[in-house]
């Protein structure tokens, strides 16, 4: 560790708080990095150990402490404690060790954290708006101490990752997503607000746990829920008029309904539908650079027909249409497999979203048989059902594809349709693989494969930064097509040579800025921006990126 009596950065206005009150404010606290002069000025002498440490030394202390923990959940809890003590240090630590800590602050560890949220809960980091707040939701939102909120991530906990209904324990998701907004794209943490809508829990074992933190009741009725959501959306628009609202981990039906109802009235999007779509389509674009085949020749089979799969297929359809394929033909290149078998035109149990991709074909209830019948170029796992991409299926895909595209996108790791090792081994090293949760480097016959993680963090933070920077009033689907193209363009030949369809996480801030610039440009083209167009758009956006550096007070 290094010791320093000085800090970098411009002189800042003196904080109104002093002494212990200052040390208890995570937005202002520098801990042992307060210089001797600052300690005298701010009434801190004696309240801290006498040695002054640089921010870099504090980062080193904390990363070493984390590495000594016995489990990732313990690391998650330690990081949650750090952000409540020292916000700047928390984000500096994540930025300096992003590849190592991303799986801790988000997938896969966040899944376990949500399941055990009642046991690890320390302090609320967002708002819980419950069914008991009906008629008072606006007042609840106004109780948040910061009014200039630019990004809200909201969940009702009904479909957390692939884990199902976790109710109020789903709060770990919006907290984690907003952490990524700041770390990956530089959206200021003070302008981010995580919200959980607690309308009951359909998981009896979860809600009956004595340490469950939410309402211990079943979910409210459909009509009550609809009225509750409308009151919430109306209140958000009134209290935070400049906000981008991101819907996260709602059940399938509610997710599509929310998006369709409010997308033209509110600056909003659904990350499970649109963010997942963009990162998956970006992976497909990258894969084509390996296969050498054009997009128009791709046939995709989706294992799972929920928000993620349907979102990917819709964006894939848009990409194909942009290349001159008719919409009808584009949809015929996307096939779905759900819990009842192949989605076909003859089925009468399909919702409108599935019906758009229901094609004429005889019934099939065996996935291997569907693979052999359809001969897809890519198999996209978005089912939440682990180990469903089996060895016979991978071998079949490899028999008619030189480079079979295999995406196991379900989160957390325990829900992945197959592992990286399985995909590479069963395909004899020819699979083009991506996953939703991280897998380690795998060595096969002398070659190191670095599996790419199709993490939505490559998409939503950059989209959000672009939207917030120019005050975009809406988030049309075209923005996610642009984000996918921009992300794919950031993948180097070196990345592809090691089997990775995405750039390294270490570059994610730069990638996010590139996406933000492209999104902002599109907002200006469509007349959606609410600020004048700057002469240098990229410089304008970069100037808004939050950098976790301590202020200097003396």
Phi-psi region of 69 (alpha: psi -120 to 50; beta: other; left: phi over 0): beta
- Active-site hit among 177, 354, 458, 546: 177
Q: Assess contact for 273 and 255: CB atoms under 8 A.
A: yes
For strands 447-449 and 442-444, give the pairing.
antiparallel
Q: Which residue has the tokens 């981990």?
A: 249
Based on the residue annotation, tell me whether 106 is a catalytic residue of this protein: yes
Based on the residue annotation, tell me whether 354 is a catalytic residue of this protein: no
* Number of residues that make up the chain: 554
d(CA 339, CA 185): 37
> How does DSSP assign 238-268, residue by residue?
HH-TT-EEEE-S--HHHHHHHHHHHTTTSSE
**Secondary structure class of 44 (helix, strand, coil):** coil
Q: Assess contact for 236 and 243: CB atoms under 8 A.
A: yes
Question: What does the buried/exposed string (b/e) look like for 531-553 if buried means 16 or more CB atoms within 10 Å of the residue's CB?
Answer: eeeeeebeebbeeebbebebbbb
**CA angle at residue 546 from 543 to 550, to 5 degrees?**
115
d(CA 433, CA 409): 10
**Secondary structure class of 197 (helix, strand, coil):** strand
Question: What does the buried/exposed string (b/e) look like for 90-117 if buried means 16 or more CB atoms within 10 Å of the residue's CB?
Answer: bbbbbbbbbeebbbbbbbbbbbbbbbbb
- Active-site hit among 91, 92, 106, 212: 106
Which residues are catalytically annotated?
106, 177
């Amino acid at each position: 560790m290094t010791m320093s009596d000085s800090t970098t950065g411009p002189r800042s206005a003196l904080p109104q708080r002093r002494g212990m009150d200052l040390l208890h404010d995570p937005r202002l606290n520098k801990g042992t990095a307060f210089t001797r002069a600052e300690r005298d000025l701010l009434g801190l002498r004696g309240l801290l150990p006498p040695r002054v440490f640089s921010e870099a030394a504090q980062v080193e202390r904390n990363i070493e402490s984390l590495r000594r923990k016995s489990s990732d959940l313990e690391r998650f809890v330690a990081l949650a404690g750090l952000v409540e003590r020292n916000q700047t240090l928390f984000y500096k630590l994540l930025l300096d060790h992003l590849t190592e800590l991303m799986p801790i602050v988000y997938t896969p560890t966040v899944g376990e954290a949500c399941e055990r949220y009642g046991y690890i809960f320390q302090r609320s980091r967002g708002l819980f708006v419950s069914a008991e707040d009906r008629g008072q939701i606006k007042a609840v939102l106004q109780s948040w101490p910061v009014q200039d909120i630019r990004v809200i991530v909201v969940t009702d906990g009904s479909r957390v990752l692939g884990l199902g209904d976790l109710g109020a324990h789903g709060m770990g998701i919006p907290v984690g997503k907003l952490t990524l907004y700041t770390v990956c794209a530089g959206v200021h943490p003070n302008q981010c607000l995580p919200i959980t809508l607690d309308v009951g829990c359909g998981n009896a074992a979860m809600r009956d746990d004595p340490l469950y933190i939410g309402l211990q009741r079943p979910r409210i009725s459909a009509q009550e829920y609809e009225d509750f959501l409308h009151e919430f959306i109306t209140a958000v628009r009134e209290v935070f008029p400049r906000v981008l609202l991101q819907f996260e981990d709602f059940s399938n039906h509610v997710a599509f309904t929310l998006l369709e109802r409010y997308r033209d009235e509110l600056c909003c999007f659904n990350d499970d539908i649109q963010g997942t779509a963009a990162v998956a389509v970006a992976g497909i674009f990258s894969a084509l650079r390996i296969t050498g085949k054009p997009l128009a020749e791709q046939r995709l089979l989706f294992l799972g027909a929920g928000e993620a799969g349907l979102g990917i297929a819709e964006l894939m359809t848009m990409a194909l249409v942009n290349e001159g394929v008719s919409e009808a033909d584009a949809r015929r290149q996307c096939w779905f497999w759900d819990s009842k078998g192949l989605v076909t035109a003859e089925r009468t149990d399909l919702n409108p979203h599935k019906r758009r991709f229901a094609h004429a074909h005889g019934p099939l209830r065996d996935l291997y048989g569907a693979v052999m019948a359809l001969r897809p170029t890519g198999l996209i796992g978005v089912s939440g059902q682990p180990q469903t991409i089996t060895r016979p299926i991978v071998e079949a895909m490899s028999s008619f594809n030189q480079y079979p595209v295999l995406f196991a996108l379900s989160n957390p790791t325990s829900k992945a349709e197959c592992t990286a090792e399985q995909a590479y081994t069963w395909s004899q090293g020819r699979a083009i693989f991506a996953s939703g949760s991280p897998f380690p480097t795998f060595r096969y016959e002398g070659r190191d494969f670095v599996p790419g993680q199709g993490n939505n963090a490559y998409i939503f933070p950059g989209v959000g930064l672009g939207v917030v920077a120019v005050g975009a009033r809406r988030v049309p689907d075209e923005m996610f097509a642009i984000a996918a193209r921009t992300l794919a363009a950031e993948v180097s030949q070196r990345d592809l040579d090691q089997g990775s369809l995405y750039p390294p996480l270490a570059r994610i801030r730069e990638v996010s800025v590139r996406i933000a610039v492209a999104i902002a440009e599109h907002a200006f083209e469509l007349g959606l921006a609410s600020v004048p167009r700057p002469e240098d758009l990229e410089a304008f956006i970069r100037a808004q990126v939050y950098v976790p550096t301590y202020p200097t007070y003396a």
